[in-house]
Structure 1
Amino acid sequence: MNTAITTTLISVLGAGLFGMFFLLFRNLFMLFRNLSNTLTAGFAAVEARFGRLEDKVDGLVGEVHALEIKFTEKFTAELRRLEIKFTGELRAHDARLARIEAKLEPDPPAEAA
């Protein structure tokens, strides 16, 4: 074959090969860019959901804290009421015992003191 024809065929095939590589790498670059954009959008959506979840958890923490304060106040008031009632009962028994002791023994022995 003629060298000019051979050189022309090699040049055309080489240029076509380079063109195919160029298109392949361009498509591959576009696929990676699309994958990157998809992942970025997915991460943004996940971050937004975590933000909403964090807000809900903060709200629940506030509600739990409010309930804790409410129960603490309620139980403190109940304990004070029971303490007052118990102290009153003890004073009534003390007065009763003092009357009984006064009737039984006018002068208690020295060793009782």
Structure 2
Amino acid sequence: MKKIEAIIKPFKMDDVREALAEVGVSGMTVTEVKGFGRQKGHTELYRGAEYNVDFLPKMKLEVVLPESQVELAIEAIMKTAQTGKIGDGKIFVYEVERVIRIRTGEENEDAV
């Protein structure tokens, strides 16, 4: 099993969720996060004063999948989250050693 973490632009979240549902992803965890990469934030104007915004709002999406679904999920995220502009985000893929559903005690793929 693998865990996919994707950091994407907030306005792309609904599109990504729908695309993942289409390829069979049944559950996910989503967190509002802030951060920056190469874009290093940006400058905004508020009441005539300019100020720097270092940490930009992003969404962090986490899913745990069987190996057979990983490439489909990655393709779905890339296709729907990509705008072609700086700050589109990143996808991280991790190995998952063990998963346990607390309610039933099911393990691994049965627990996902």
TM range (shorter): under 0.3
Greater C-alpha Rg? 1
Larger % of strand: which?
A: 2
- TM-score, normalised relative to structure 1: 0.16
- TM-score, normalised relative to structure 2: 0.16
Larger % of helix: which?
A: 1
